[in-house]
Structure 1
Amino acid sequence: MTPPPLGRMTTYGLEHIGVLALIVACSVALVLWSRRTERARVDRALRVAGWVLLVDAVLWMLWGFMPWAWNLHESLPLHFSDALRILLPLALILRRPWMIVVACYWGLTLNLQSVLTPDVNYFVWVPMEFFQYWFSHGSGVVLPVVLIWGLGYRPTWRGCGFAYAATLAWATLAFTVNMSLGTNYAYLNRAPAGPSILDLMGPWPQYLLVEAVVIAAGWVLLTLPFVLRDRWHPAPAVGEGGLMRRAARPAQSSSSA
Structure 2
Amino acid sequence: MAFEMFSIAHFAGLAAAVILFAGIIVFRKQMREPGVNRTVRYGLASLLIVCEASLQLSYLLEHQWDVGSLPFQLCSLMVLVSAVLLLTNRKKLNDIVFFLGSMGALQALLTPNLDEAFPHFRYFHFFIAHIAIVGAALFILAVERYRPTFRSVMRAIIWLHVLAIPAAITNTISGTTNFMFLAQKPGTASLLDLLAPWPWYLLQLEAIVFALCMLLYAVIWLLDRWLKREGQTARS
Tell me the TM-score normalised to structure 2 length: 0.85
Matches for 1:109-128 after TM superposition, within 5 Å: 109-122=103-116, 127-128=120-121
Q: Does 1:100 align with 2:66?
A: no
In structure 2, relative to structure 1, the CA distance for the partners of 1:13 and 1:163 (3 Å cut) is same
Which residue is equivalent to 2:41? 47
Which residue is equivalent to 2:16? 22
Residue number among 126, 134, 151 corresponding to 2:144 in the alignment: 151
Measured in 1, the distance between the counterparts of 2:63 and 2:214 equals 40
Matches for 1:151-230 after TM superposition, within 5 Å: 151-182=144-175, 183-226=177-220
Q: Does 1:31 align with 2:22?
A: no
Say what the alpha-carbon RMSD is for the aligned residues: 2.9
- Contact kept in structure 2, 1:9 and 1:119, CA below 8 Å: no
More helix by share: 2
Which residue is equivalent to 2:50? 56
Q: CA deviation at 1:67?
A: 5.6
Instruction: Indicate the SS of the match to 2:79.
Output: helix
Measured in 2, the distance between the counterparts of 1:127 and 1:115 equals 17
How many percent identity over aligned positions? 23
Unaligned runs of 5+ in 2: none
Residue number among 117, 121, 140 corresponding to 2:133 in the alignment: 140
Deviations 1:53-112 (A, max 9, x none): 254045225415516242436411110011011111111111112222201112221221
Measured in 2, the distance between the counterparts of 1:116 and 1:54 equals 20
Unaligned runs of 5+ in 1: 1-6, 234-249
Measured in 2, the distance between the counterparts of 1:83 and 1:137 equals 11
- Contact kept in structure 1, 2:78 and 2:100, CA below 8 Å: yes
Residue number among 62, 66, 81 corresponding to 1:87 in the alignment: 81
Q: CA deviation at 1:36?
A: 4.5
Tell me which amino acid in the other structure corresponds to 1:197: L
Measured in 2, the distance between the counterparts of 1:79 and 1:19 equals 21
Tell me the TM-score normalised to structure 1 length: 0.79
In structure 2, relative to structure 1, the CA distance for the partners of 1:131 and 1:165 (3 Å cut) is same
Between 164-173 and 47-56, the greater mean CA deviation after superposition? 47-56
In structure 2, relative to structure 1, the CA distance for the partners of 1:228 and 1:25 (3 Å cut) is closer
Q: Does 1:13 align with 2:4?
A: no
Q: CA deviation at 1:191?
A: 0.7
- Contact kept in structure 2, 1:198 and 1:207, CA below 8 Å: yes
Instruction: Indicate the SS of the match to 1:47.
Output: helix
